Structure 1
Amino acid sequence: MSEPTEEIATERIATNEEVLPRRGDVLIRASSIGVDASWGHIYGPVDLTVRSGGVTVLKGAGGRGRTALLLTLAGRMKPTTGRLEAFGRPDAPHHLFDRAAIAHIDEVDGIGQTIRVHDIITEQVRWASKWYRWVPQSTEADLERICRPVFGDYSLPPMEAMVEELPELTGALFRIAVANIRKPPLIVIGGVDKLASVAGAGRLLERLVALGTEQTVITADVNGVPLGEGITDVIEVPNLTDDAFTVLEREALDR
């Protein structure tokens, strides 16, 4: 007789009747998932469990494998092997897609560098509005409404600034803010180690912890981060690089 599966505790959300895991209970469970392309292996097999609420940090080498795993956990890429259960449904990437945002991953949310901040805000407001509504150019009030929950006490970018002119941390927070306009239950964010500044990466993580009070946040870092308030789990993830590079990667990290 097979072992009984672990039941995922849920609560009903009154606003939309959606049934979601309670904070601290299982949101995503991946069993031996992996992705293969026509030209070769990308990542896997990977086993991990993401609990609802706070920030889950995946500790693993950067590169296409880690990016593909983050895309998979946001419902943007379907695993070719294994089983992925998310929001109570097994192997349902479209269901996961609708409940997740993804940000700070160039392959998905890269912003044209010659675009001004106010153009991006205007575009996001129009996408979020009813199709029959005329939406004028964005205002400072729109910038405040969209960006303040992510920026916290940090200064917002000037409306007339080119995206390419934004400082590194400001640019990362801006990308997260515009991607998170719907505030879905889950947001997946490219590695905090993408910031060149260690101090900047730390400040970015602090803002992700703030988001984790109302959403589940998944991000990544090659070295992991210390467990602390707001960090739900730090999960070491193997099999993110080609087999031929695994030993070389381990030697580089151990030196």
Structure 2
Amino acid sequence: MAHPGVPITADGLGVDGARGAVFAGVTLRAEAGALVAVAGPGGSGRTSLLLTLAGRMKPAHGSATVAGEPLPQRAGAVRRLVRVARAAGAVELQERWTVQEAIDLQEVLRGHRIDAREAAAVLDACGVSAEGAARIEDLDPRQLTRLAVALAWFERPPAVVLDDLDRGLSADGERELWTLLKALAEQGTTVVASAADAAPAAGLADVVVPL
């Protein structure tokens, strides 16, 4: 079943830090249900760009919209549309948690119970094979990232952002994850993910944003 995604745009978007520009001049056009690959080396501003598009960081330059909602003016509305699966140093699964505790936290954050059958279907669709009692710290990088994606994808949000898709993975492992994200996008969710290199996303990403 397809779910409605949201279009995302940016024109000359930039964020400044204490030492100058974190990223600058980002322009993109992503239609609803698109897969967007943000590519650049460490320190290029990938995390900050994803957080900005998710309404969690205020831009200093340019403009951006999510579902027509302007940033930063309507950041609150954008935060309700965009789930953050992972953002380095900002949104991470805690190592001491179990998989089930991570799922339970999603219910707390949403303020209601998540249908168990729907949760199981999402975990299966995302290729999460770890048992509920498994500790986050014991998951391999592939399972850890798939779990982060699954938790964000519960109840099929309009958009999901994922930072450091390539963390701890080989090029083949990256390709597998890009393929998973493409499948989620094809079901309607707009997906923005970052990695050092966009090559493993070739033929899958609808939009590539170099940093």
SS at match of 2:45: helix
TM-score w.r.t. the length of structure 1 is 0.71
Partner residue of 1:161 out of 134, 153, 162: 134
What's the % identity of the aligned pairs?
A: 25
Structure with more relative contact order (C-alpha pairs < 8 Å, separation 6 or more): 2
| Cα distance in structure 2, aligned partners of 1:62 and 1:202 | 20
**What amino acid is the match of 2:140?**
P
Partner residue of 1:212 out of 153, 167, 185: 185
Query: Which stretch has the larger CA shift, 177-186 or 70-79?
Result: 177-186
Q: Which runs of 5+ in 1 are unaligned?
A: 1-14, 22-26, 239-255
Q: Which runs of 5+ in 2 are unaligned?
A: none
How large is the RMSD of aligned CA atoms in angstroms?
A: 2.6
For the 8 Å contact 1:115–1:162, the answer to whether it is kept is yes
Partner residue of 2:65 out of 70, 75, 85: 85
Q: How many positions carry a matched residue from both structures? A: 205
194 and 187 in structure 1: CA distance in 2 versus 1, 3 angstrom threshold:
same
**What amino acid is the match of 1:163?**
I
Structure 1 outlier segments of 4+, above 6 Å: none
Match of residue 145 from structure 2 = 172
SS at match of 1:97: helix
For the 8 Å contact 2:15–2:21, the answer to whether it is kept is yes
153 and 178 in structure 1: CA distance in 2 versus 1, 3 angstrom threshold:
closer
For the 8 Å contact 2:128–2:147, the answer to whether it is kept is no
| Cα distance in structure 1, aligned partners of 2:70 and 2:18 | 25
TM-score w.r.t. the length of structure 2 is 0.84
Match of residue 54 from structure 1 = 34
| Structure 1 position 30 matched with structure 2 position 3 | no
| Cα distance in structure 2, aligned partners of 1:194 and 1:125 | 27
| Cα distance in structure 1, aligned partners of 2:124 and 2:174 | 14
Q: 1:123-202 residue pairs with structure 2 within 5 A? A: 123-130=105-112, 142=116, 145-146=118-119, 148-149=121-122, 151-152=124-125, 154-202=127-175
